[in-house]
Amino acid sequence: MNIIDRYNDCEFAGFYHITSPCDILLVREMTGGIYHGERGRLYSPCGECMGKGCQEAFDTEKYSWVQIERILRVAYECADIRQKKLCIVDKADVLESSRLWREVVSEISVHFPQVETDILNIEKAAAKIIADPKQFDVIVTSNMFGEILGGILSALATKAALATLAAPAGIQYSLNIVN
C-alpha cells in the first residue's frame, strides 16, 4: 500500500461564534517527517548523573524535495477546485526541513497563481484555527503538524456535535469528518 497523504475534511457549525458551516480540508504528508526519521538513544557515563550514566534521545525529521512537491501539488489542486485558498503550516524559524518546504512552495506556487498562498508557523496556525476557523479552506503540512492540527480540528468538530445536543428546536448543526 502506498499512502502518500491523509485528508481530514471537517465540516462543523455551532461552535461558539461560528454561525455558518465551516469546511476545512487538512492535507497531511505521511511518508516522511519525524515519524519516519532516524531515532534513538545515546548513553554515556558522566559524573553529573550519580553513576547512572547520561541519557539523550533524538528524533530526526527528514523530507525530500519530491515528497514535499508531491503533497503540495495535491493540496494546490484541492485548493484550486475549492475556494482557492491554501495555507502551508511549518516551523521554518527553527526547522531546516520546514525551510525546504518553503523553497518548494516558492517553486510550485507559480504554477497555481489563482490560489492564494499563506504560510504560517504551527503555533500561529493553531491559534488562528481555534480563534476563527472560517478563515481557512485547505491546509497542507508535515506529518507531525498534521496530526496536531487534525486533533484541533476534531476537537472543534466534536464541540460542534455536542452543541447539537443543547440546540434549541429548529436550529440545525452539521458535522462531517472524513478520514
**For residue range 163-176, what is the model confidence (pLDDT) as tens digits?**
444 444 444 433 34
The whole-number pLDDT of residue 170 equals 42
**Band (52; pLDDT cuts 50, 70, 90):** low
Which grid cell is 93?
524559524
**Band (2; pLDDT cuts 50, 70, 90):** very low
The whole-number pLDDT of residue 114 equals 98
Dist. CA 14–CA 3, nearest whole Å? 33
The whole-number pLDDT of residue 47 equals 59
Q: Global pTM?
A: 0.77
End-to-end, the C-alpha distance of the chain in Å comes to: 17
What domains can you pick out in the chain, each with its CATH number? 5-178 (3.40.718.10)
Dist. CA 122–CA 134, nearest whole Å? 17
Classify residue 2 as exposed, middle or buried by CB count within 10 Å of its CB (0-12, 13-18, 19+). exposed
- Residue 34, pLDDT above cutoff 50: yes
Dist. CA 31–CA 26, nearest whole Å? 16
Taking residues 83-109, what's their average pLDDT?
A: 97
